[in-house]
Every structure is written in structure tokens, then in C-alpha cells.
Structure 1
């Protein structure tokens, strides 16, 4: 399996003409993002039969009111980060936050470090090149907090998984069930829950997290992924399909960014030519003025 492509985002200029380009570029990008949707199911079943106690019904209805709407999550994000975000980045963020909201409040959802690694990988690649490291981190903080989770935990767990994977081989990676350690314990817990002994909610972020582990261990062969999925009780066909979608998304993002960079470069060159022409005109005018003054 090929390595996941790294997305490099060029800094965006804030001129009016560039913002007009962003509108058309963003519309195209929005259509490309349609494939990167999480397969989730978001519902709570409440039986109205005579055997259901009133107290149980009240508790069920109460739990429904505790779940924020997508609009509330998006509003919370906008309140936490009030600066304007360039449209080509904002389109991606808004699409992801809607999908992650549906996944976050799914009945079977439970946070785990592999999922965190997957999200951090996606976020860092999508936002690479965003103007200002401080702003990029502030957006990350606002995004995770809008989902009522802890951004620091995401970063810490992602780093922990990366450091562990970097010290592994293809063999040791898939032999985690027979070994002891903090990360091995995390993977065992995931395997147990995914095997039907607890709550587990598979997502594309989880698939990306798995591939990132393989990538850091220099073990991206399909056979290794197959064995790791088997050890974790994860459907490999789902992982393969989701990684294909992810790579396709990154490829389209790269194309969009390249088009935007070309446009910005052209506009910059035009501005430089205009400035050069204006300076030349000023020089000619000055020389002519001096000549006329000398003739007097």
C-alpha cells in the first residue's frame, strides 16, 4: 500500500481578487469532500409499549435533550475562534466538524488514542501551511472543545502512539496481544470492544490512525495491515475503502492548493509589473519636469 500523501498548504494572500478565486475553488473543493463522510448512525430508540416504565421514558427523553445539535456545535466553534478563516480551509473544517459531530454523539462512541492519532494526522495535513502556527493551534483547540472533548488529550495520545509505533517493526506491531505495555493495553482494549465485548464505533479517523501506526513502523505492506486488523477485530475491507477515500481527498486538496498557488503567483507578478510600470512613469515624469524646469 502506498504511503499517505502529505498535503502542503501555501500561505494565502488576503487580496480581494484572491478572495474571489477562493469562492470558485472552495465550491469545487466542497464537492470533493462529499466522499469523506463518516458512516454513522445517530439515534436513540424508545419503546412506547405498556411494559416501558414512565421513569425509563423520562430518562431516555432527558438524554435526547442533552445532545447538542450540529448548529450548536458549529456555533460553539465560531464563538471559540472568532477570527476569519480563509474559505478554502474553512470549507474543510466545516465539513469535518459536521461529520465528527454525528460520530461524536453516536450512542456507541467512545474516544480512543488510535482515533485521536487519526484525527490529528488529518488535521495537521489539511492545515499544513496555514498562516500562523498560533492560529492553527487555536483553531484546533476551538474545534475539539466545540465537541466537548479535550484538545490536549488528543495531542498527548497522538504523540504517545507515534512514539510507540516509531519503535516497532512489522512483527512487533501485530504481536501486541502477547506483549505488555501502555499502548499494548490500549490496543487490547480496542480489540476487546471491537470484538463485541463493549462499545466501539469505527470511523475513518480510526482507519487513518491505523495506517499512521503502520507508516511510522515502516510496515505499510497490505499483509501487515490485514494481520493488524484481524488482531484488533476490525474489518479490513472497511479500512481499505476508507483509506482509498482519504488518499483521494488529499489528492484533490493538493490539486486545489496548486491551482490556488498558481493564481496567487500570477496575481503577484501582475502587481509587481504594475508597480514597476508606475515607478517607470514616475521616473519619466520626474525627468521631464526637471528638463522643463532647466529650459526655463
Structure 2
């Protein structure tokens, strides 16, 4: 019998791969995402799918936007996925393929594909994904899946995705077609959009604080340089008194 990995196992694997400290502002984001993915991965009903991958990629990219140093973001991403014993390249590839396809479809096209998903498996990644979900009575819904679904809508029509009233109708269509929990989907997307706004506000505040601190350092450096120049070049009165 295989032992089920624990959260501690996943965290240990992560920090063995990414060994540099994580910026304190982003550490909570990384660890919450890591734990959420871990709990899904050990759930008996969970099955990886491209929409879930798109949700993971989107959540990581948006909540980690502005991370410094930028180069560390690649290492953190790789560690996050590899700690789940998965392939970070597969997540990116599957997410990119769905985004590209969604960009060629209208919101009506997306919902129509979902509505025929039980009968049609199609010959493209999105329709195949819809078909597998609609015909899986034990499909494990998750917040990350909801984010992936919302990202498809954004790529199709960002204005429609941001229209709160219109979004409710779209959620109903997807929930009925793919047999998703409507209330959970609506709640998760409301929270996601709210969190994006909060993160954007926090990022702006950090940028303003960083700029203010930079100006203070520049002022102190200028004052120090002025004081040093003054001590090296005594005034005429000082030169007369010395003579």
C-alpha cells in the first residue's frame, strides 16, 4: 500500500528545489497555493485536466506579478509544480493551448461547446476537456478549476467576463452543462476577482513605499556628498583666519 504524501512532504520537497528565501509579501500566496494543490492531488476523485492547469498558471502569474527578483519566479514556479510530483512544462503547455483556442472563440461558442459536451468529445483540447468533465460523475471541482474557466472567458471576451450580471448567466450555463456546483463557482469567482483587486492595491502601495524609500536614500546621499564637498573646500574666511 502506497503512503499518501503529507503537506509537510510537499513543503519539504518545495524548499529542497527552491532554496532561496521567498519575499515575505508573497510567501503566504505561494504556501496557500502549494497546500491547495497538495490537498487536491491526494484526493481520490481528483484528476488533472487542462482547465485546472490554466487556473494554476493564472493564479500564480497574477498573484506573483511584480515579484523581485524576477529570476526567482521561475524557480518558485518549478518548485511549486515539482513538489506535487508533476511537470511544470506540461502545466504551461496545456494552459497556453487552451488560452490560444479560447482567444478564437466567442463566449457563445464556449457555452455552446459546454452544452454539447456530454455527447461530443470533439477533436480539440477544449472540447475533449469539457467532454471528460461532463461525463465524470465524480469530477472534483476546485477553486483553481474555477479560475481556469474564468480565464477562458477572459481570453474570449474580457468585457463579458468583467460584467458581473452577465457573468452570472454564463456561470449558470457552464454549471448546468458541465454539472458544476453553481453556488460554489459563483462564490469562488467573486472572491477571486476581489482578491485580484486587493493584490493590485497592495502592489501599488508597495511600489509607492519603495519609491519613497528610494527618494530618501537619494536625498541622504546628496546631502552627504554636499557635506563632504564643503569640508574639502573651506570658505575664504576660513582661509584668511588660518593665515
Bucket of the pairwise TM-score, normalised by the shorter protein = 0.7 to 0.9
Q: Is the 8 A contact 1:214 1:225 kept in 2?
A: no
Closer, same or farther: CA 80–290 of 1 in aligned 2, 3 Å: farther
Q: Is the 8 A contact 1:169 1:217 kept in 2?
A: yes
Closer, same or farther: CA 287–145 of 1 in aligned 2, 3 Å: same
2:12 to 71, 75, 95: 75
1:253 to 196, 199, 204: 199
Other structure's SS at 2:135 match: helix
> Is 1:162 aligned to residue 99 of structure 2?
yes
Partner of 2:139: 200
Q: Distance in 2 between matches of 1:228 and 1:207?
A: 11
> Is 1:279 aligned to residue 225 of structure 2?
yes
C-alpha displacement at 1:172, in angstroms? Answer: 1.5
Q: Distance in 2 between matches of 1:210 and 1:72?
A: 30
Q: Distance in 2 between matches of 1:164 and 1:118?
A: 15
Partner of 1:42: none
After TM superposition, the score normalised by the length of structure 1 is 0.72
Q: Which runs of 5+ in 2 are unaligned?
A: none
Q: Distance in 1 between matches of 2:86 and 2:236?
A: 70
Q: Is the 8 A contact 2:121 2:131 kept in 1?
A: no
Query: Where in structure 2 are the equivalents of 1:181-200 lying within 5 Å?
Result: 181-182=123-124, 183-193=126-136, 196=137, 199-200=138-139
Closer, same or farther: CA 104–179 of 1 in aligned 2, 3 Å: closer
Deviations 1:104-160 (A, max 9, x none): 111211101010001101100011122354321221111000011111110011001
Query: Where in structure 2 are the equivalents of 1:36-185 lying within 5 Å?
Result: 62-63=1-2, 66-176=3-113, 177=116, 180-182=122-124, 183-185=126-128
Q: Which runs of 5+ in 1 are unaligned?
A: 1-61
Deviations 1:249-285 (A, max 9, x none): 2222223222222222221121111111101101111
Q: CA RMSD in A?
A: 2.0
Deviations 1:60-112 (A, max 9, x none): xx24xx21111111011001011121111112111221222112111211101
Other structure's SS at 1:268 match: helix
C-alpha displacement at 1:179, in angstroms? Answer: 7.3
Partner of 1:231: 177
Q: Distance in 1 between matches of 2:121 and 2:44?
A: 31
Closer, same or farther: CA 233–133 of 1 in aligned 2, 3 Å: same
Partner of 1:214: 153
Q: Distance in 2 between matches of 1:216 and 1:257?
A: 24
Q: Is the 8 A contact 1:162 1:213 kept in 2?
A: yes
